[in-house]
Amino acid sequence: MLANKQLLPWACAVLLAAQASFCFGADATRGRQLYESRCIGCHSIEDNRAGPAHKGVFGRKAGLAKGFDYSPAVKSSRIIWNERTLDRWLTNPEATIPGNKMGFAVPDSKDRADIIEYLRTAK
């Protein structure tokens, strides 16, 4: 039991470092440019289009953007959007939530990090 209590601060430090390293170097300005060139055809920060609006996506449960008609798969998922889940989603949406409607991925990790950083700032 004592060993577990001693490991807890280290585990927390590792998790915080991992989150910080994900964001380190992520460029919201570049992310906005990428978003506007790749995502804007289906998405908007403010409005639902073919895809849901992204304003306030961080911390939101998947499938809850007001007024958007989500697939049953996304509605029933238990995903809460954060850096990790957005990165996984943008890498491979079908593997993340099988049966979703999004047919687009962002294969480059730097591009994903920058887009995610932009979405974090779009409140």
User: Per-residue pLDDT for 16 more than 50?
Assistant: no
Whole-number pLDDT of residue 110: 98
Please answer whether residues 116 and 32 qualify as being in contact, where contact means their C-beta atoms are separated by less than 8 angstroms.
no
In this prediction, residue 24 has a pLDDT band, given cuts at 50, 70 and 90, of low
* Tens of pLDDT, residues 71-114: 999 999 999 999 999 999 999 999 999 999 999 999 999 999 99
- CATH number of the domain enclosing 105: 1.10.760.10
Whole-number pLDDT of residue 18: 44
CA neighbor of 49 nearest in space, from 76, 35, 67: 67
Q: Which two tokens stand for residue 28?
A: 């919201």
* Tens of pLDDT, residues 29-73: 999 999 999 999 999 999 999 999 999 999 999 999 999 999 999
Please answer whether residues 42 and 51 qualify as being in contact, where contact means their C-beta atoms are separated by less than 8 angstroms.
yes
Whole-number pLDDT of residue 83: 97
The Cα 32–Cα 43 span in angstroms is: 12
Work out how many domains the chain is built from and give that number.
1
Q: How far is CA 47 from CA 50, 86, 119, in A?
A: 10, 19, 14
- Residues spanned by the domain of 66: 2-121
Q: How far is CA 59 from CA 11, 20, 72, 76, 119, in A?
A: 22, 17, 20, 16, 11
